[in-house]
Structure 1
């Protein structure tokens, strides 16, 4: 019996463990049986605390009460039937299941055989001893209170959430109001009158509503404009309201009204007079007007957008604001076109930007607007900032005088056109003066003043339209039309695409030089510097192409005494130096460095390795020729359009200015060669333009040539190559539209479609260049380990350069320059990738470069 005694002792030691486990089993059953009941109780309490019984009709409250009581009884009976008291055996089984080898069951077992065998008995006692030791590890089993299987929709969580909301925003005092709806509520009314009250701050403050019965203090601080609602129960006149906070005069309701509603307008006293009444001293929290101020200097971007930083504050939040810009007439230097009396023009009013998200109580923002087209651009103005809150209060900043920031024009002719446009908008009395100056500028212009004949023709057209209205005066509509035409002309003169890489490079150098002389902003300097870099790259490619054409046949390229050999890295270093000097404010040294760069570019020639041009280079040359020919056709179509309106005017033709492919004079052609022939095309007489039929045929022939080039375009399968084909497809469609318009005698439509074709051709050439650059990088990587690396050529047919034997550092950049230039290159790629105005294809290509390096 010794082993039985040991087993019983072990089981007795589990008394408290079994008790807790048994209690856990009971908790499980109660939770699973009665969760619907306590969920229902929570929802009912929450509804009563939130005052649902006061908002519903009496009949609805009674119906809800009956439903709730019935549902509660059903839940109670159903739960009671499912609950049974756990036995000791249930607790032993639950506890034994958590122990390894079920030792409790082993202690209660008896051996089935071997009762008379001493060896078997000894083995059994040893087994039970081990099981008794295992029971020492027993711990109370935690109850499983999860009821997710019984409540798949989470109704119990909704009940808990409703109770939490009621505890935060409701009141236990409201629960007692339900007793007034019982048949015996007359006794409650006989016991004395009662009252309730609520305080609702203005919604824009974001403050919660207050239950007046819960406010225990004798004084309250409330925002101005808070609404107070009082309800008096019981005999009429038993309770009255006395207050001095609303400031009401005139027709004031009776102080004994059962429901009273008023708004706090001033500090004062609120008192409920009668049994159970209370009184409060109310101090008003005044709503302060917002404040706004300019927080920095106004700046202008390269595109002409003004950036004006400001900050605003309000105690509850700024609802809106405006910037009012007025002309500072006394500060204007009244000379030239500004000497006339200005016409009345309304002040500029724009809305201030507000934060999209976050707190508007205190913030800093930047007002970004483009006033480049406004007549007050670059003139002294006064900026008035005003902020407003939800209460209608306004605050104003100290008026700030400044010159209205706008786009600057660095091309001298474009600057003249913009000034004339400003004078015309300043006062219509300047119309005669503007016409006189435009006629002087366009009369027998020297070579190079107008880069394209179409620009000259557009100016002369604007001049004739202006002079036609001088006799009977300019209307507002005609004045605005002329102003728009002058703006478009200035933009074309400033940013118009030039026919040759050299002219584009010279234009970029001149604009940068003018910007440094005129004190341009950092953003304008950065954009002009980027334009110079791109123009230099185009010029280098053009020189490389021409040198390769001249070197066909294996002849050595001889450099003259005044010529220089430079590579792209040398030019980049020089331009980096110029930009560095400008950033440091050393404009004189930067101007001198720019002049040295101009002189070097004039004398520079680029040597190329022998060999035939690659298919990519041939495609680029063909597309460039197509673009130039399309530009020439567009110029001729524009000239014919002008002659339709004025057949006797030889617009744009003089002895010093020759049009494309013929006409009078000896001016520069528009085909990018810079050479004029002085004779009409295809044997036409001097000054006579080709017929419209020839334009149609030439447009068709140019389109056929483009289709032939598209069939031989390299880079198929790559994203850049596919983008190039798509752009050239758009060009083909535009050329087809231009041809149809020419055949339909619609020259204006033809010119528009030709412009679309030229834009699509430029996109296609840019995408093709990216495709060839990508292919070049891939091929250079594959040729890196080849034995004939020194003789390898890139996809453009150019020599890979003197890079030394494979595995050596000969010819490579070494030292600190390598890392500095790599860092500059990465910074430049990141900057270009962040410019949203760039085409999406180009930005995707730059992002792929960043991912790779």
Structure 2
């Protein structure tokens, strides 16, 4: 009733206020002619005063008696008033008491009275609705700028008559100083600088002005002019000096742009696969734009004997682009990795020169380094001979006759020494060498054939398996960089797993056949890894990709590539480096179930998006039954896996089972929500299931690590030193990766702790705050993209983010 009284009394005041605010916000006031504006403002003010006085007069205070009377009128027979009556004649006998009981029974049906201000009768022209529509329109389409202009226009009408004077409308000039783009410095607004503040600009900065008043002029002595427009002068800062404009003086200090510096690290090293690794550092005051390494033959240092005794054919130096990080390049520390093992200069003396270029094409050169170009080494005698023949042919085609003689010698009596297919190829090469002078194409083809033959002799089928693994790694890395679809990435990941399994199995077979004293052990002592650890690292890559952390997945994939190329597989017998392996199979099965649950959640979200896009929100999706069936299947698989978990009765095992029980219940509820058409509820329960599975796997992994540590202590002999079994699982515990390099995040910063590198247990259970933060961001993007009231452009952008991550 208070609201009714206020609405009846003050609706004219609210309507006038709404119209006045809408006129200000929509710029109507600023558009009114100056002579009319004071009269209009006065009329609005009188209207406000009149409506306020009228409302105050008509507003009445509500009493309890009024409220009871209002309620009583809604009940039959007005029982509330009857209950307060007293019998005038005859006393309060049985009939009177029956009457009171009847009235009291009627009061039970009392309900709150629906308010009715009766504004439709009092406002037949709906002026209140017009004011409300105008106010809402102003809130949506109006702005502070229009309101400010209206207020300024009203303020101008308040001036005292007879007082004249120009009203300042803004500065008489504006100026900007824009440094060159390669410096990555922001543009400076000169009007915002304090009086007397020095202006420091990189050399080549462009200074521009905009003059608004007549007679303004810019005087400067810092560089040549860029434009002839007197109202918009501009010039380039080349030297220190001053700028004067309309009485304002700027002291300009032009900062010189120094040439970049670059220096090489230690001499390049050879990796196990023959690749060259060269460290370098570069710096520039504004950032290095590009850098390259130039490799030239050091002819004076070559041992000119045998096939190298004659003069070599001319060959251009090798130019390699040095990898530079994104973002800040003022201080760069990088590493060049290149496979030059097939180059004619491999394993020969060369000079290595590094060059850095900045944004204005200034060049910085490092002192040439004289070294031997790293290349692959061959230990099989016949393979080494073929590689030497190849080098001689690439050195000069005049070595063809000599190479033919040597090739005849090494293929003499091939029985039991050279396989028949290879013998036929080598005899064909002899005929080619003894023929006419080789063309460039024929020479290169023959060199490639000799290389393949040498690799086949040295490695057998291992080189083919390594090449397949490299190709799978390259394709997966390219797919991640180019934002391939999840299905394509998963297919390439499966291909990489198969190629890696084939390579490690073949490598293990080859090492088992070698004498232990002849096995290659790598450059670092004890750098061994088990098949389980390889699987863990691949699972970690899979997890990062599933969570959309593509930059980290790309980095870990590169580490995996380096590790596999320097690999020595440990085929652990029982108790040799594989303690706790009994828990690996259940952990791997749980990891696969978790990945399937994540895929199902993604498909459910995509299905919800499709429903929103088709305007079918709230209706069952045609895909819901199929998704529900898959959810049921995952729940049944999880139940089977729970019965196979180790550690029953231990705290870690019990915690893992409890978390998996929670995951199972969440899966059940998600299945039911999918069958009911509640996709949003299903997504929430699926997220709960994923989180519970992660917690369960983390608990299981901690339990297995404790068992490994206990077994390792029991098997440690007094005084024994060296790496404990299972220590490979903790390879990243000190902030280092598998190849003993500092673990860096995608921004090039060193990670704390293990840097999200596998540190024991299952990698899928290791992600904590960073992973959770990534999931929260992804969930928020999904939520916003599903809100149909958001602009279409914003939803399209969010959709592209979801497709990418």
Larger Rg: 1
With normalisation by structure 2, the TM-score equals 0.45
With normalisation by structure 1, the TM-score equals 0.42
